Amino acid sequence: MQIQILTVGKLKERYLVDGIAEYVKRLGPYAKVQMIEVPDEKAPENMSPAEEQQVRVKEGARLLAALRPDVYVVALAIDGEMWSSEQLAASLDKLATYGRSQVAFVIGGSLGLSSELLRRADVRLSFGRMTLPHQLMRLVLVEQIYRAMRINRGEPYHK
């Protein structure tokens, strides 16, 4: 399986970089994982709704440009479906079984994803109704992908 994780902004926090690198290394026997970062837009605190929309559109265009036409897109969105780890594993297994072995998980910037990108998504996935920093979401996502691969191979993993 080939997995892309597309994100907005550069990850700077060393503990997150190290954690993600560890899980990407662990995923080596299961999947090829590619991390793609697109530049973020400046987003000051006091933006109008129209300015926020412009930021999402610009970041969304960069993300869309990085997606191959044939890739299955999972957009991480707070209003998406909530799956268990087992449901994520089953979904990835089903995609691989039916020839959809190229999957892209997309994490937006601090203002979320553009409506254009959400329309392109094959599924919207939520990790809960709580808001998590988009940088931390990268680590949570890559750990869950690793967990899903272990589940699909029937290998033990901490519950």
118 is in an annotated binding site: no
127 is in an annotated binding site: yes
Using CA atoms, how far apart are residues 136 and 156, in angstroms rounded to an integer? 25
Contacts of 158 (CB under 8 A, 6+ apart): none
108 is in an annotated binding site: yes
129 is in an annotated binding site: yes
For the chain, how long is the longest CA-to-CA vector? 50
Structure tokens at 96: 């691989």
47 is in an annotated binding site: no
147 is in an annotated binding site: no
DSSP annotation of 112:
B
7 is in an annotated binding site: no
Residue 61 buriedness (CB in 10 A; 0-12 / 13-18 / 19+): middle
Under a CB-based contact definition with an 8 Å cutoff, are residues 27 and 146 in contact?
yes
76 is in an annotated binding site: yes
Q: How many CB atoms lie within 10 A of CB 151?
A: 18
| Residue set of the binding site | 76, 108, 127-132
| Residue set of the binding site for S-adenosyl-L-methionine | 76, 108, 127-132
